[in-house]
Structure 1
Amino acid sequence: MKLKDSIALVTGASSGIGYAAAMALAKEGAHLVLLCRNPEKGEAAMRAIAQASQNPKIDLLLADLSDQESIRKVGQYARESYPKLDILINNAGAIFPKRRLSLDGLEQHIALNHMGYFLLTHQLMALLRAGERKQILNLSSSAHKLVRKLELDNLQGEKRFGRFYQYGLSKLFNLYFTQQLAQRFGPDGFGVNALHPGVVNTNFSQEGKGFTAFLYRHLGRFMRQPEQVGQQILQLLTADEYLLIEGQYFTPKGVEQPSVLAQDRALAEQIWERSMDWGKIEEYGILD
């Protein structure tokens, strides 16, 4: 499936996997929309991708995806600026060493890594419906397996907080979101899947402290490179069978089964309903 007439939006596109995915799509002729938080890094990425791909159809949108008001504003701008959206890659995420709350009162991993996906996709559903492809790819992680039991009374780390557990929880929620989107919108022609990119040599943990940062700095050359993941994303999105596969969990080895907990439909529905409350959404994909 050719990308020449497609519009693709990539979050977290100023570096790492997001940048590599945007570069791969731009080289295939897609109209790229880069959604970044930092204006300087976003502009630098836009210039570099345009130069390397010789593709002039690259735009930059700015938003803080942990801030729901910022998401709503960029969603409105996108709806007013583009006639459609064919591809949405939800990639932006981070891990935080200490518990802190977003402006909306949510634990930061949940606010950015989960609700950033959930609310932005809601804001862009009208554009996706107008697209020919209707493809959504959510970046998740094998870190979802760190969550062995879902504590519904501690989703925001109110009682206990561990950064790796909370990060894993947000990645579990990405899989629940993917499952529910595929179930609810797959019949409307949407192709919705999740990807665990593997252990990738990005700046995700390099700038931090502790053992994880040490591993990234000293073992990075043995890890997957962002460009490899970018090519995998391109191959997934351009495969004819992508739209025939819904709610799947891709890894570097292909389609695999996530944890048993990640396959729990009842819990996925509960987290969907909580997310609707957290985002103050009445009907998903429908805006007033």
Structure 2
Amino acid sequence: MEIKNKSKSFIAVVLTDPSLRRLIFFILTSLIICFLPIYKAIRYIVAKEYGGLSPFDSILYHCITNIIVIIIFYFVLLKKNIGGTTKEVIVNRLKLKGKCIIVTGGYRGIGLAAVHEFLKYECHVVLACRSISHMDFIRASLLKKYPDAKIYCVELDLGSYKSIENCANYILKTFPKIDIIVNNAGFLNRKLEYINGLESTFFINYYGHFYLINLLYNRILTSGTLIVNLSSIAHSLLKESDVDYAFIYENNNDNYSKSNLLYRKEYNFSKLCMLYYSQQLQKR
């Protein structure tokens, strides 16, 4: 399958974020409000007059009135758009109780933040991470905050076929139903290295998750599982000319140096693959 980045531009991708769009809307609207003669309009409506104030008082009351209007506008916007889709989650929070949630790389960053939110809604959370000791530490910390939480830990090294297979077998044996899978784990190797014949960043970020989902696929179909694939805005920086498919395979790397992979856009490419993978899963 030929993969092309259809993003129009970096700015276009940034503006797809609803929170950022609301922030820009708030700033522009507030600037417009600053120049509106709201206080004069109120005085005219109430007292049918404009004058009676010194220039300083007129400016002062104008500023105070407009600031009050901006503050009111802010809280109205906040109430209407509380955290974007978070509003829908809050409305349906009772439906999340007891759901089985699997989070890869859930012991730090976005994954850990997601785990906290799931535990608030009394979900059963499975941490699937590479470091067992780190997972145990995080689990102990989470249990202090959520004493009644159901937290499971399973080792998952997305750079190892055997580890992925063991993780999938554990999940299939332990959980008869999987409600949500969050493919969060990510990696950026600053050296040119290969895992099982594939470039390491591509393997761990994309192919490892692909293999895990493939092993769980029948259970996913019977459970009606929601799959959340974390990508990155970095994919929008990728040009088609940046993608060298031969570079992904180890036997084609003779002409490449061992320099920093940030210049080869492999991370960006792996995140673009996650987006296309999400589209393919949606079609199925």
Does the TM-score normalized on the shorter chain lie above 0.5? yes
Contact 2:199 2:247 in 1 (8 A): no
Contact 2:119 2:149 in 1 (8 A): no
Matched ranges for 1:180-191 at <5 A: 180-183=280-283, 185=284
1:111 is matched with which residue: 185, 203, 216?
203
Matched ranges for 1:34-183 at <5 A: 34-102=127-195, 104-131=196-223, 134-149=225-240, 150-156=243-249, 158=253, 159-160=255-256, 162-164=260-262, 165-183=265-283
Letter in 1 for 2:270: S
Which consecutive unaligned segments of at least 5 residues does structure 2 have? 1-91
User: C-alpha deviations, 1:87-110, integer Å up to 9, x for none?
Assistant: 0000111111111011x1211011
User: C-alpha deviations, 1:26-52, integer Å up to 9, x for none?
Assistant: 110101100011111100111122221
- Identity, % of aligned pairs? 32
**Whole-Å separation in 2 of the counterparts to 1:125 and 1:180:** 13
Deviant stretches of 4+, over 4 Å: 159-162
Contact 1:9 1:35 in 2 (8 A): yes
**Whole-Å separation in 1 of the counterparts to 2:125 and 2:218:** 18
Structure 1 length-normalised TM: 0.60
RMSD: 1.7
Contact 1:84 1:129 in 2 (8 A): no
**CA drift at 1:162:** 5.0
Structure with the greater alpha carbon radius of gyration: 2
**Whole-Å separation in 2 of the counterparts to 1:94 and 1:131:** 29
SS at match of 1:10: strand
**Whole-Å separation in 2 of the counterparts to 1:84 and 1:129:** 10
2:110 is matched with which residue: 13, 17, 35?
17
Query: Which protein has the bigger helix share?
Result: 2
**Whole-Å separation in 1 of the counterparts to 2:148 and 2:205:** 30
**CA drift at 1:128:** 2.1
Which consecutive unaligned segments of at least 5 residues does structure 1 have? 186-288
Letter in 2 for 1:182: Q
Structure number with higher relative contact order (C-alpha < 8 Å, ≥ 6 residues apart)? 1
**Whole-Å separation in 1 of the counterparts to 2:198 and 2:249:** 7
**Whole-Å separation in 2 of the counterparts to 1:40 and 1:162:** 30
Structure 2 length-normalised TM: 0.60
